[in-house]
Amino acid sequence: MSAELHVVADGVWTIHHRDFSMGGMRLGTRSNLFRLADGTLALHAPGPLTPAQIAAIRGLGEVSVVLVPNLLHNGYCAAAARAFPAAKVIAAPGVAAKVSGMAVHEELGERAPGAFAGVAEMMRLEGCPKMGEYVFFLPGSRTLLGVDLAFNLHGLTGFDRFAMWMNNANDKFCVTNLGRSMYVADRAAAGGSVVRMTDAWDVEQIVVSHGELLKSDGRRVLREAWSFALE
Ligand SMILES: [Fe+2]
């Protein structure tokens, strides 16, 4: 197993791009992988993959799907599609219009893509149209894969810590103040989605793009993070 790949659960991996910055804040991002029923891999929310990381992924097996699950993390998906040219690109509606030079072969809809049958379930986070996020659950390991669904930043220092203090988002799993004001257009709809997810899915672990893995009690923690939208 390459040092680049962190095992989240059996058949689930994450690559933490710790140095990734946005808006001057070093918040990191993640690329995630999960194994499909036919033994191939889905690459979820690809980030700035290095050649070594691409080689590590190839060491796991064939990537048959590049999955772009929201409208905010699409800066690196075209490069991922080029790195894995045999993969089918499955993306949230709207990604194709934002990313030039990349063919989208399938758009996410009401149900999880057929390629994920037996492995992953899916729901859309409603009420956040600028985010346009689709959330995936892997029942085999009770692992939920989100992107900007929540942040889980711990141990930040300096300006990053100050910025997240302004966001009420240090050292906890939460939706940032900025996230609430910029992306949650309809709290009731978004909160309803989170209720449906946590009713249907017995979530233990949660992977989000910005911050650490949440190792346990995911169902309760996710609902708590979105409690502002459940009132
Ligand atoms: Fe993000």
Which amino acid belongs to residue 207? V
Which pLDDT band, with edges at 50, 70 and 90, does 4 fall under? Answer: confident
Q: How far is the CA of 157 from the centre of ligand 1 (A)?
A: 19
Q: Are 77 and 89 in contact (CB under 8 A)?
A: yes
Q: How far is the CA of 95 from the centre of ligand 1 (A)?
A: 15
What DSSP designation does 212 have? P
Q: How far is the CA of 45 from the centre of ligand 1 (A)?
A: 10
Q: How far is the CA of 173 from the centre of ligand 1 (A)?
A: 14
Domains in the chain (CATH in brackets) are: 6-229 (3.60.15.10)
Q: How far is the CA of 143 from the centre of ligand 1 (A)?
A: 19
Interval 104-127: pLDDT, tens: 999 999 999 999 999 999 999 999
Residue 190 has pLDDT above 70, yes or no: yes
Q: How far is the CA of 148 from the centre of ligand 1 (A)?
A: 5
Residue 10 has pLDDT above 60, yes or no: yes
Tokens of residue 110, six digits: 């009401």
Average pLDDT, the chain: 96
Interval 131-173: pLDDT, tens: 999 999 999 999 999 999 999 999 999 999 999 999 999 999 9
Q: H or E stretch including 165?
A: helix 158-166
Residues 219 and 208: their CA atoms lie apart, in Å, by 14
Q: How far is the CA of 133 from the centre of ligand 1 (A)?
A: 11
Residue 231 has pLDDT above 90, yes or no: no
- Regarding beta strands 205-207 and 143-145, do their DSSP bridges make them parallel or antiparallel, or are they unpaired? parallel
Residue 2 has pLDDT above 90, yes or no: no
Q: How far is the CA of 147 from the centre of ligand 1 (A)?
A: 6
Instruction: Report pLDDT for 1.
Output: 56
Q: How far is the CA of 182 from the centre of ligand 1 (A)?
A: 12
What proportion of the chain, given as a percentage, has pLDDT over 70?
Answer: 99
Q: How far is the CA of 55 from the centre of ligand 1 (A)?
A: 24
